[in-house]
Amino acid sequence: MPGAVEAALHSYLAAPKLVFGCFDFALTGDGDAAQDWIFIECNPNGQWGWLPDAIDITTAFADILSTNMEGGGAR
C-alpha cells in the first residue's frame, strides 16, 4: 500500500474517532503494480473472522474495549 494511501486511511479513521475499519478499493493496473487506488467504502464493523490472523484481531479488539472501559468509556 502506498504511504499516501495509508496516511489518508489514518486521517479518515481519526476524523470520526474510529479505531477500526475495513476498507474496500478498486485497483487499476496489473497485479502488484497497482496504478490507482480507488476508494469504494469503509465498513467500521467489517467482516474479519475469515482472515488467517483473526485471533490477533480479536485480541486487539478485546484490548481496545478493556482499555476504554478502564479509562471511563469509549473514545
| Spans of all domains in the chain | 1-44, 48-75
Bridge partner list, 36: none
Q: Tell me which residue of 13, 14, 5, 10 sits closest to 39, measured CA to CA.
A: 5
Digitized pLDDT (tens) for each residue of the chain, 75 residues in all: 889 999 999 999 999 988 888 899 998 887 677 788 999 999 887 776 677 776 787 788 788 778 866 555 544
List the grid coordinates of 70: 478502564
Q: Global pTM?
A: 0.60
